Amino acid sequence: MSEIRSDFPGSEPILKRLLEIARASVLAEMASGVAHELNQPLGAIATFAQAGERMLDRPNPMLSRALDVFRQINQEALGAGEGIKRIRRLFEQGSPQRIRCQMPELVEELRPVFEILVNRTEGAVRVDMPDTVPDLLIDRMRIQHVLYALAQNAVEAGSQLSSAPSIRIDVSADRYVVETGITDSGPGVPAELQQQLFRPFFTTKSQGTGLGLASSRAIVEAHNGTMGFENLPAGGSRFWFRLPLTAIDRSAHGDN
């Protein structure tokens, strides 16, 4: 386990690239959330409008003008649905651009960024990971966005109890996955909030967007991974994500 170093040249270009991928991920998740929130009621409007059209489009319609109104409602609702689809396509990031990577390398590259985070609160970061783990086939910048988002949340959680919060980053592997965890020194996640944490737009922060965890989980799941969290008996919480090994690395570890 090692303390984060105090001098990391070249941190600004790394942070700039990280913020760019973070912005793209948040926008993509925002578009997804808008589509989720609006497509269902718009679909219901279209269904009811079509039903009204069938009831009135008879040899003896009740109100011809009402029929025209229902048709217009139907057209507008369907048009709105198509508009949302177009907006969502504008922000979609496409498939991850995957290359073979080592998770310790990604964490190490982000050390200057972690230092920026903890310097704001006079906190500390500790890293516990082996020098090498099995290779992953991932989009390195998107996974670094996940690391950054979890580290930022960990610092903010620890700040609720201390003016100098500590966070810990750990990496481990078995023959199926590489697991990365971020542990904070905060109060833990209240039971009443646990089911909502990863929902788009849910936040407990006055200035929060509610998109950091949602976009992070979307990135991990796009890599066929999983994300979760646990409250720790000693206090604080640990958020983790697991990414599957490549087929080659599973074979090297004895899987058939």
The confidence score (pLDDT) of residue 122 equals: 78
Residues 223 and 111 in one domain: yes
pLDDT in tens, 216-239: 888 899 899 999 999 999 888 999
pTM above 0.85, yes or no: no
The confidence score (pLDDT) of residue 29 equals: 62
Please check the confidence at residue 33 and state whether its pLDDT lies above 70: no
Print the SS3 string covering the chain: CEECCCCCCCHHHHHHHHHHHHHHHHHHHHHHHHHHHHHHHHHHHHHHHHHHHHHHCCCCCCCHHHHHHHHHHHHHHHHHHHHHHHHHHHHCCCCCCCEEECHHHHHHHCHHHHHHHHHCCCCEEEEECCCCCCCEEECHHHHHHHHHHHHHHHHHHHCCCCCCCEEEEEEEECCCEEEEEEEECCCCCCHHHCCCCCCCCCCCCCCCCCCHHHHHHHHHHHCCCEEEEEECCCCCEEEEEEEECCHHHHHHCCCC
Domain assignment present for residue 21? The answer is: no
Residues 67 and 146 in one domain: no
**Residue 158 binned pLDDT confidence (cut-offs 50, 70, 90):** confident
Whether 187 contacts 161, CB under 8 Å: yes
Whether 159 contacts 183, CB under 8 Å: no
The better pLDDT of the pair 65, 7 is held by: 65
Domain assignment present for residue 34? The answer is: yes
pLDDT in tens, 85-141: 665 655 555 556 789 999 999 999 888 888 778 877 778 889 999 988 999 999 988
**Residue 57 binned pLDDT confidence (cut-offs 50, 70, 90):** confident
Q: Residue 6 burial (CB < 10 Å; 0-12/13-18/19+)?
A: exposed
Number of domains in the chain: 2
Q: Say how far residue 20 (Cα) sits from the centre of its chain.
A: 15
**Residue 6 binned pLDDT confidence (cut-offs 50, 70, 90):** very low
Query: What type of residue sits at position 225?
Result: G
**Which residue, 91, 110, 130, sits at the end of a domain?**
91
Q: Give the separation between CA 22 and CA 159, rounded to whole angstroms.
A: 22
The confidence score (pLDDT) of residue 94 equals: 59
Residues 73 and 176 in one domain: no
The confidence score (pLDDT) of residue 244 equals: 94
Which pair of tokens denotes residue 51? 């039903």
Residues 213 and 137 in one domain: yes
Q: Which of 59-63, 109-113, 238-242 has the highest mean pLDDT?
A: 238-242
When computed from its CA atoms, the radius of gyration of the chain, rounded to whole angstroms, is 24
**Residue 242 binned pLDDT confidence (cut-offs 50, 70, 90):** very high
Neighbours of 135 (CB within 10 A): 17
Domain assignment present for residue 247? The answer is: yes
Residues 163 and 47 in one domain: no
Domain assignment present for residue 15? The answer is: no
Residues 144 and 212 in one domain: yes
Domain assignment present for residue 1? The answer is: no
CA-to-CA separations, 140 to 28, 102, 105, 147, in angstroms, rounded: 18, 9, 10, 10
Please check the confidence at residue 5 and state whether its pLDDT lies above 60: no
**Residue 254 binned pLDDT confidence (cut-offs 50, 70, 90):** low
The mean of the pLDDT values for the chain is 76
% the chain with pLDDT above 90: 22
The better pLDDT of the pair 29, 221 is held by: 221
**Which residue, 62, 91, 120, sits at the end of a domain?**
91
Domain assignment present for residue 190? The answer is: yes
The confidence score (pLDDT) of residue 12 equals: 57
Domain assignment present for residue 6? The answer is: no
Residues 103 and 150 in one domain: yes
CATH number, position 192: 3.30.565.10
Whether 145 contacts 179, CB under 8 Å: no
The confidence score (pLDDT) of residue 238 equals: 95
The better pLDDT of the pair 109, 11 is held by: 109
Neighbours of 216 (CB within 10 A): 27
Residues 72 and 103 in one domain: no
Please check the confidence at residue 66 and state whether its pLDDT lies above 70: yes
Residues 248 and 141 in one domain: yes
**Which residue, 91, 120, 138, sits at the end of a domain?**
91
Residues 56 and 166 in one domain: no
Residues 68 and 190 in one domain: no
Residues 215 and 147 in one domain: yes
Segment 163-169 mean pLDDT: 85
**By residue range, what is the domain housing residue 70?**
28-91
Please check the confidence at residue 240 and state whether its pLDDT lies above 80: yes
Domain assignment present for residue 18? The answer is: no
